Amino acid sequence: MSNLDRSGRPPNAPTDQSFTDGLRGFSYNGAPTVVFDDSGLRYFVNEFWTSGQRRGHNLHEISYRACFKAQLPEFLIQRLTRIGDTVYDPFSGRGTTAVQAGLMGRRPMANDINPLSAMLARPRLSPPGLPEIRARVEALDLTGHQDPAPDDLLAFYHPDTLHGIVGLRRYLLDRDAAGTLDPVDDWIRMVAINRLTGHSPGFFSVYTLPPNQAVSAVRQRKINEKRGQTPPPRDIAAIILKKSRILLADGMPPDHPDPLLLTGPANHTPAIPDRTVDLLVTSPPFLDIVDYEGDNWLRCWFAGIDPSTVRIARHASTAAWEAFVHSAFQEFARIVRPGGYVAFEVGEVRGGKILLERHVAAAIAGLPFDVEGVMVNQQEFTKTANCWGVGNNSSGTNTNRIVLARRHMPA
């Protein structure tokens, strides 16, 4: 916040009326923005943000599949909102947009079909202090419960560690059911959810895939056999405290308006009043490329969520995905204020062969939005000539592609 003016924008930053002019005039390390038109869309290509340009706040450092970097919403929030404005993400995931909005003094608003999302975001918007966390963790008795430990989980955990995890789970579920789950418990649950499995001693598990994915117990047994490993005992309390220190290392968020965190489909959010969202920044599910249910099965178990009841959208065809986006934008047309922006990040899918931004533009047709362009945030090692596909990368997402749509102003 040190380089922002009193409105929360950088000095001389473009206003919302000249946002695309600002993109056109943007340069990074002397490289100007490349602007061109293709298939009726205007593209703005540059390295608008990079992990090396500024480090995100440590509160963002939790893992979740297919999440974008905090620099993406930061870039847009700085330029398109003022302190106190409402910033909304209807497909919130781990809550990156909401947390960044809070860090910048805006009102965080978020929604996701999976109740796990609010569990991940809410504690980081108003964290407890480290002494409170330490006192609560050290006072927990994780051994006195009688809950059976699922045998399959022994593929991941030492028996003593698993017994402690089951005890912590029971404590949190009981507190939640009784209505006595307080902000310290909420924080501990969030951290524990993010320490369940991973590829270092900083997690409760033996070595497995990175923590944004949870493999099946069958696959984990194969990993153990291949690596000749057995789950070691882990100190649950020490791991939770260490991760808490890391998350809080950059300090607490500033004062910001009270958040609104919802659970449900993005196309039906009656709790959000009409025309109250100043900026919407989101990244929806991309076709069928991410198995959110499979990746989060263990987290859902710990949180007491039945993943079969979480109807995360998956679409095998672009036509079905386009209809899904159209339905969401119908709701966005109700809640976004006139002149407000929607920044709809679609990334790259199927090696860049499908350009989802074109399907977003088609989905918006007929709704009260103007598509002002597509931001393409290009990685440093990516050549402009390769911005349509992974090109010089062997796999994975090469660029962020953000469709910029603006709600019509009154006639």
Helix (DSSP H) and strand (DSSP E) numbers for the chain: 13, 11
Give whole-number Cα distances, 324 to 63, 73, 285, 317, 319, in Å. Answer: 26, 23, 10, 11, 9
Q: Which residues of 147-170 are buried (b: 16+ CB within 10 A; e: fewer)?
A: eebeeebbbbbbeebbbbbbbbbb
pLDDT at 6: 35
Query: Which region among 11-20, 131-140, 342-351 has the lowest average model confidence (pLDDT)?
Result: 11-20
pLDDT at 396: 41
Assess whether pLDDT exceeds 50 at residue 385. Answer: no
Find out if CATH 3.40.50.150 is the number for domain 16-113+259-292+311-407: yes
Query: Which region among 182-186, 215-219, 223-227 has the lowest average model confidence (pLDDT)?
Result: 215-219
pLDDT at 352: 64
pLDDT at 59: 96
Query: Which region among 159-173, 286-300, 383-397 has the lowest average model confidence (pLDDT)?
Result: 383-397
Assess whether pLDDT exceeds 70 at residue 277. Answer: yes
Q: What confidence category does residue 288 fall into, taking pLDDT thresholds of 50, 70 and 90?
A: low
The residues with which 185 forms a beta bridge, in sequence order, are none
The average pLDDT across 13-22 equals 68
Assess whether pLDDT exceeds 50 at residue 53. Answer: no
The average pLDDT across 106-131 equals 97
Whole-angstrom Cα distance, residue 364 to residue 284? 15
Q: What confidence category does residue 267 fall into, taking pLDDT thresholds of 50, 70 and 90?
A: very high
pLDDT at 204: 97
Q: What confidence category does residue 28 fall into, taking pLDDT thresholds of 50, 70 and 90?
A: confident
The average pLDDT across 47-52 equals 76
In terms of pLDDT, which residue wins out, 352 or 206?
206
**What is the separation of C-alpha 206 from the centre of its chain, rounded to a whole number of angstroms?**
26
Closest Cα to residue 354, out of 386, 388, 378, 384? 388
Whole-angstrom Cα distance, residue 88 to residue 276? 10
In terms of pLDDT, which residue wins out, 27 or 7?
27
The average pLDDT across 330-357 equals 88
Domains in the chain: boundaries: 16-113+259-292+311-407, 130-247
- Mean predicted lDDT score pLDDT of the chain: 87
Whole-angstrom Cα distance, residue 99 to residue 276? 19
pLDDT at 184: 98
- Give the strand pairing for 86-89 and 107-112: parallel
Assess whether pLDDT exceeds 70 at residue 386. Answer: no
45 burial level (CB within 10 Å; 0-12, 13-18, 19+): buried
The average pLDDT across 79-92 equals 97
Assess whether pLDDT exceeds 80 at residue 77. Answer: yes
Assess whether pLDDT exceeds 50 at residue 15. Answer: no
3-state SS track over 26-89: CEECCEECEEEEECCEEEEEECCCCCCCCCCCHHHCCCCCCCCCCHHHHHHHHHHCCCCCEEEE
In terms of pLDDT, which residue wins out, 239 or 215?
239
pLDDT at 379: 62
pLDDT at 329: 98
pLDDT at 52: 52
Report residue 37 as tokens: 């038109």
Assess whether pLDDT exceeds 80 at residue 266. Answer: yes
pLDDT at 254: 95
Percent of the chain beyond pLDDT 70? Answer: 85
The average pLDDT across 168-176 equals 96
Per DSSP, the three-state class of 18 is helix
The average pLDDT across 64-93 equals 92
pLDDT at 291: 63
